[in-house]
C-alpha cells in the first residue's frame, strides 16, 4: 500500500529486509555451490511474527474502543412519530426531515434534535450531560435526540436530523479518535520517509562498491547488499509505539478508563489541570435524602412516610429517592388514594384521607401555603447544594425534605492525591453555582465553573488552556 501511494514508511523497510533475508536464504538452500553462507529463515519469520503480533494487539485495542461506538449507536431510537396531514404517522428515524413536527410520549426516547412547540415535561439528559436530575422542558426549549422524555407529552419541531444531531457528532468524534496516531508515531513515519530511501541508497552503494571498486565476486557484493537491508530493518521502531499503546490502553481498561486516542495517551503525563464534571463523576449520580425537618404536630417518620406515599407513583429521581429513603427506614409506602403530578413543581396526592402537596416554592405559592417561618432553614439547606421539597398536609406546612447527589466515597482521596502531584483541579458543571460550590467544598476542589451549558463546556476548557497549561477533562 505504501509503495502504491508512493510513500516510504517502516513497512517498506521491514518488507524489504525480511524479503531480502528470505530470498538470500532460499538461494543458499537451493544453490549451495553458488551461494555459500548462513540461512536466515528464522530471522525473517521472527521479525514478521513480531510485527504482526504488534498489529494484532493494536487492532484489539481499537476493537475495544469500537464497542463504545456500537453502544452509542444503540442509544438511537429506530422510529419517530411525526404529524403529517393532521395525523400521527410512525416513520423510520432516517426519514424524519428538518421542520417536521414530532410527537414524544412519556417514557419514549426523543427521536431527533428539536425545539419544543407544545407541552411540558421533564427530560432525562444524563446520556449527554451526566446530570442525574431531569431537565424541565416547555415550549421554546431545545431537546436533543436519544434523551428520554420522563412524564409529559411533547411536540417539537425537528431542527437537526441524521448526521447533524448531537449524538451523531459524538459518534463521529469517537471514530476520528480511533484513526488518530500518536505524535511520536507520526514522527517515526516522517523519519521513515527519509530513512528508507537512504538505506536503499547505502545498500546499492555497498553492492557497487564491493563489485566494481573492490573487485569482489557478484555473490559477495549481493550478500553485502542484502546484509545492509536486513541490519537496517527497524523492527524495534516499528513495534515500539503499537506495543506502548497496547499496554497503556490495556492497563486503562483494567481500571475502567477508555483511552480515546494515542495522542491523548502520550500527552497524559504532561497534564497539569484536570477538569471534572460534577454529577456521576465527583458524585454518585443518584440523589438521596439527606435531611428531614418536621413541623409541630408531625414526626420525622410521619413526614417521610406521607411524602413516600405521595411520590410512590412518580418517576422523578427526587420522588424515587424519597421512596427509597422510606423503605430504608422500613416505612413501606402504601398506594395513594389519588395522585397528580405537576411538571416542574411537584405532586399532589390523597393519603389517609388527607390532601398532601409535595413540591417547590412555586407549588406552595400557587396553593396559598405559607412557608415563611421555614424560609431560613430552606435557604440554609439550599446553600449546602441541596434540593428542598416542601410538604403540606391539608394546606398546612408539615415538613421539609432535602435531597442531594452526594460525593463518591473515594472522591476526596482522589482529589487530594492529584493535589499532591501538583495538578490543579476544576469542577465544570451545568448545575447552579451554589450546588456546585457545596460539592466542591466537600471533596476539596479549589475552582468551580458552574451554570455552563453542554455546548459551552468546550469554550470553558479553551479558556483554561490559555494559561499555557495542558488540560484534561
470: in domain: no
259: in domain: no
At 56, the pLDDT band (50, 70, 90 cuts) reads: confident
* Residue 337 DSSP code: S
254: in domain: no
Which of the pair, 254 or 423, is modelled with greater confidence? 423
Write the CATH number for 324. 3.40.1110.10
- In this prediction the pTM is 0.52
Q: Which residue has the cell 562498491?
A: 209
Verify that 150 and 296 share a domain, yes or no.
Answer: no
**Of 101-115, 238-252, 371-385, the least confident:** 238-252
Q: What is the largest CA-CA distance in the chain?
A: 114
CA distances from 16 to 52, 186, 196 (A): 16, 21, 10
Mean pLDDT of 222-238: 72
471: in domain: no
Quick one: pLDDT at residue 1? 60
337-391 pLDDT, tens per residue? 999 888 778 899 999 999 999 998 888 999 999 888 889 999 888 877 788 999 9
41: in domain: yes
Verify that 65 and 205 share a domain, yes or no.
Answer: yes
At 181, the pLDDT band (50, 70, 90 cuts) reads: low
Is 193 buried (19+), middle (13-18) or exposed (0-12) by CB count in 10 A? middle
From 147, 171, 195, give the residue that closes a domain.
171
> Percentage of the chain surpassing pLDDT 70?
83
Cβ 427 vs Cβ 447: under 8 Å: yes
Other Cβ atoms closer than 10 A to 228: 21
Verify that 8 and 43 share a domain, yes or no.
Answer: yes
The reply to whether 95 belongs to the active site is: no
Count of domains for the chain: 4
The range of the structural domain enclosing residue 425 comes to 271-282+407-465
Quick one: pLDDT at residue 70? 64
* Residue 440 DSSP code: H
Verify that 203 and 84 share a domain, yes or no.
Answer: no
Verify that 278 and 414 share a domain, yes or no.
Answer: yes
Verify that 149 and 211 share a domain, yes or no.
Answer: no
Verify that 216 and 365 share a domain, yes or no.
Answer: no
Write the CATH number for 135. 2.70.150.10
Verify that 52 and 185 share a domain, yes or no.
Answer: yes
Alpha-carbon distance of 299 to 192, in angstroms, equals: 78
Verify that 396 and 293 share a domain, yes or no.
Answer: yes
Quick one: pLDDT at residue 71? 66
256: in domain: no
7-30 pLDDT, tens per residue? 666 677 777 777 877 888 888 888
Verify that 306 and 436 share a domain, yes or no.
Answer: no
Catalytic residue among 113, 118, 136, 277: 277
**Of 53-57, 58-62, 274-278, 394-398, the least confident:** 58-62
Mean pLDDT of 35-59: 76
Per-residue pLDDT for 245 more than 80?
A: no
347: in domain: yes
218: in domain: yes
Verify that 18 and 55 share a domain, yes or no.
Answer: yes
Verify that 292 and 399 share a domain, yes or no.
Answer: yes
283-307 pLDDT, tens per residue? 887 788 999 999 988 999 999 999 9
Amino acid at each position: 500500500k505504501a509503495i502504491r501511494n508512493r510513500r516510504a514508511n517502516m513497512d517498506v523497510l521491514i518488507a524489504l529486509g525480511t524479503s531480502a533475508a528470505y530470498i538470500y536464504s532460499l538461494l543458499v538452500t537451493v544453490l549451495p555451490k553458488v551461494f555459500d553462507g548462513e540461512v536466515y529463515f528464522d530471522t525473517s519469520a521472527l521479525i514478521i511474527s513480531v510485527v504482526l503480533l504488534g498489529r494484532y494487539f493494536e487492532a484489539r485495542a481499537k476493537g475495544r474502543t469500537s464497542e463504545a461506538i456500537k453502544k452509542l449507536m444503540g442509544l438511537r431510537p429506530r422510529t419517530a412519530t411525526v404529524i403529517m396531514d393532521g395525523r400521527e404517522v410512525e416513520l423510520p428515524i432516517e426519514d424524519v426531515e428538518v421542520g417536521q413536527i414530532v410527537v414524544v410520549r412519556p417514557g419514549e426516547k426523543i427521536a431527533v434534535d428539536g425545539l419544543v412547540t407544545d407541552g411540558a415535561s421533564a427530560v432525562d439528559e444524563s446520556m449527554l450531560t451526566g446530570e442525574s436530575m431531569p431537565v424541565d422542558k416547555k415550549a421554546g426549549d431545545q431537546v436533543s435526540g436519544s434523551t428520554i422524555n420522563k412524564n409529559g407529552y411533547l411536540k417539537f419541531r425537528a431542527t437537526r436530523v441524521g448526521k447533524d444531531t448531537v449524538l451523531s457528532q459524538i459518534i463521529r468524534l469517537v471514530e476520528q479518535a480511533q484513526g488518530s496516531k500518536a505524535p511520536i508515531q507520526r514522527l517515526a513515519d516522517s523519519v521513515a520517509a527519509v530513512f528508507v530511501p537512504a538505506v536503499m541508497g547505502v545498500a546499492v552503494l555497498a553492492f557497487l562498491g564491493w563489485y566494481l571498486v573492490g573487485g569482489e565476486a557478484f555473490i559477495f557484493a549481493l550478500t553485502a547488499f542484502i546484509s545492509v537491508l536486513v541490519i537496517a530493518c527497524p523492527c524495534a521502531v516499528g513495534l515500539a509505539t503499537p506495543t506502548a499503546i497496547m499496554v497503556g490502553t490495556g492497563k486503562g481498561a483494567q481500571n475502567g478508563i477508555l483511552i480515546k486516542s494515542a495522542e491523548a495517551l502520550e500527552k497524559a503525563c504532561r497534564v497539569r489541570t484536570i477538569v471534572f464534571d460534577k454529577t456521576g463523576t465527583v458524585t454518585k449520580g443518584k440523589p438521596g435524602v439527606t435531611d428531614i425537618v418536621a413541623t409541630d404536630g408531625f414526626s420525622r417518620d410521619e413526614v417521610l412516610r406521607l411524602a413516600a406515599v405521595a411520590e410512590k407513583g412518580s418517576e422523578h429521581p427526587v420522588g424515587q429517592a424519597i421512596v427509597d429513603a422510606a423503605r430504608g427506614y422500613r416505612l413501606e409506602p402504601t398506594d395513594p388514594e389519588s395522585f397528580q403530578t405537576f411538571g416542574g413543581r411537584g405532586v399532589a396526592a390523597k393519603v389517609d384521607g388527607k390532601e398532601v402537596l409535595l413540591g417547590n416554592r412555586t407549588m406552595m405559592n400557587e396553593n396559598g401555603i405559607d412557608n415563611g417561618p421555614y424560609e431560613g432553614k430552606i435557604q440554609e439547606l439550599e446553600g449546602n447544594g441541596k434540593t428542598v421539597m416542601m410538604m403540606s398536609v391539608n394546606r398546612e406546612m408539615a415538613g421539609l425534605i432535602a435531597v442531594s447527589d452526594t460525593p463518591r466515597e473515594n472522591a476526596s482521596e482522589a482529589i487530594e492525591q492529584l493535589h499532591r502531584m501538583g495538578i490543579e483541579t476544576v469542577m465544570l458543571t451545568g448545575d447552579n453555582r451554589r450546588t456546585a460550590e457545596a460539592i466542591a467544598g466537600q471533596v476539596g476542589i479549589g475552582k468551580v465553573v458552574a451554570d455552563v451549558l453542554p455546548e459551552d463546556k468546550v469554550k470553558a476548557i479553551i479558556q483554561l488552556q490559555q494559561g499555557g497549561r495542558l488540560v484534561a477533562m
